[in-house]
Amino acid sequence: MKQVADEIGLRSRSGKTLAESKIHYILTNPFYYGAFRWADSNIHPGKHDPMITKGEFDAAQRILHYRYKAQPHYKHFAYTGIMRCGECGAGITAEAKTKHCKNGNVHHYTYYRCNRGVDPKCSQQPIREEGLEAQIADMVGSIRIPEQFHDWAMKCLKVDHEKEKQDQDTIRNVRNNAIKVCEKKMSSLVDLRIDGEIGPEVFKRRKEELLAEQKKLEELSKDAGDRVVKWLDYADKALDFAETAKQRFETGDMETKRDILTGHLAGFGGQIHFQV
């Protein structure tokens, strides 16, 4: 804050650089938006002309509050919250360790262990992240699907896709016809207004109703087309996941590994047990 004040040339009456405490006092002083703080600490309206608005003052207070509020720092671990101990069923926790060697080298390690929330005497010992990932990679690798099955499944999916596409084309044609009917109603409505058979209020109300109906039909028609593409894309990704999950897990970053593991957990009731 003091650096910014120096950059914009903010100085005291004597030309000296303002201390940060003084800058903070100025930014929190209600005098500048037309009020003043009395001895009772309450704020009262003043009779002087404000230099800023109350909204600008409030915005400054929010910024100051965020600036001085301590921000917590958290260490994120890839596999906490989605695993349980293979012996007692308790949750798995993690902690980071740093080792300083005599030769000056520094090594960082991550250990996972049972939190012993179920059984304080659980015999499972901590395991390094590399060892845990080896177990996960073996598990994920067990779901690999043969390429021949993938090809056969995709052919079946494509047949179903063509049938659904035909159905969607039929639905889209029905909706397009409904849109044309709606447009004809709009044209007739204009004729009625020109001929003086309806007044401006009725015209306005019916016009809004027809426009809302047309917009709804157009959105439904677009959704039908998008659904066809998304359906086949989802099926392909599901099978591709099973074929390549292990390789992507072994070479991916922390987020990729967690996504693959959580995606696989659907077949294990939401969580999986590991020996740690």
Are 253 and 152 members of one domain?
yes
Question: Is residue 114 left, alpha or beta, with left meaning phi > 0 and alpha meaning psi from -120 to 50?
Answer: beta
How many structural domains compose the chain?
Answer: 3
88-101 per-position pLDDT tens digit: 988 889 998 888 88
pLDDT, tens digit, for every residue of 49-97? 888 888 888 888 877 776 555 445 556 787 888 788 888 988 889 998 8
With respect to residue 113, please indicate whether it lies within any of the assigned structural domains.
Answer: yes
In this predicted structure, the answer to whether residue 121 has a pLDDT above a threshold of 70 is yes
161 and 210 together in one domain = yes
CB-CB contact of 206 with 191 (8 Å): no
Residue 241: domain span: 147-267
For tokens 């902690």, the residue is 95
Distance, in Å, from the CA atom of 113 to the CA atom of 124, rounded to the nearest integer, reads 7
Mean pLDDT of 214-237: 68
* 174, 206: one domain: yes
Summarize pLDDT for 14-54 with one digit per residue, the tens: 777 777 777 777 888 888 888 877 755 677 777 888 888 88
Burial of 85 (0-12, 13-18, 19+ CB in 10 A): buried
Backbone dihedral angles phi then psi of residue 197, each to the nearest 5 degrees: -80, -20
Residues 152 and 137 in one domain: no
Residue 273, pLDDT score: 47
Which of these three, 44, 68, 92, is where a domain ends?
68
Instruction: Please tell me whether residues 128 and 152 are part of one structural domain.
Output: no
Please state the pTM of the whole predicted model. 0.39
Q: How sure is the predictor about 236, in pLDDT bands with cuts at 50, 70 and 90? A: low
Q: Are residues 118 and 6 in the same domain?
A: no
pLDDT digits (tens, 9 = 90+) for 136-168: 888 777 766 667 776 777 787 778 778 777 877
**Residue 223 and residue 152 in one domain:** yes
Cα–Cα–Cα angle for 44, 46, 49, rounded to 5 degrees? 145
